[in-house]
Structure 1
Amino acid sequence: MRPKTFFVLLVIAAAYILGSRAGRERYDQIVESVTAFWNNPDVKKARKNAKKQAEKARRRYA
């Protein structure tokens, strides 16, 4: 393999590895934010109310 081709492949591999690490950290940060939002008491209350309204509508139109 020519040295230039090897160097290009090496740079691509390094960029992939470094990018995937940064991507995982950002992914973990997003998951943490979404989990905190989902478990927020106000959001839980809104989900419960929406479920009740959907049940009422389902019974009314079924």
Structure 2
Amino acid sequence: MRSKTFFVLVAIAAAYLLGARAGRERYEQIVGSVESFWNSPDVKAARKKAAKQAAKARGR
């Protein structure tokens, strides 16, 4: 009975470690994609245009 419990605990620990590693890699991939999008020239221009329009609307 103890060997089965030990085996299950080892399997859970291994699954957690492998899943955490894969999750971190995917997280880094998503963060890189978002940063790339946010810093693209087209998005920067759109942000500046939106900020100018918002400032103009506040002034009314």
> Scaled by the length of structure 2, what TM-score is found?
0.94
Aligned partner of 1:15 in structure 2 is: 15
Question: Post-superposition shift, 1:37?
Answer: 0.3
Give 1:40-59 correspondences, 5 Å limit: 40-59=40-59
4+ residue runs of structure 1 moved beyond 3 angstroms? none
Please report the RMSD computed on the Cα atoms of aligned residues, expressed in angstroms.
1.1
Aligned partner of 1:39 in structure 2 is: 39
Question: Post-superposition shift, 1:2?
Answer: 1.0
Q: Distance in 2 between matches of 1:58 and 1:6?
A: 65
Q: Distance in 2 between matches of 1:35 and 1:54?
A: 24
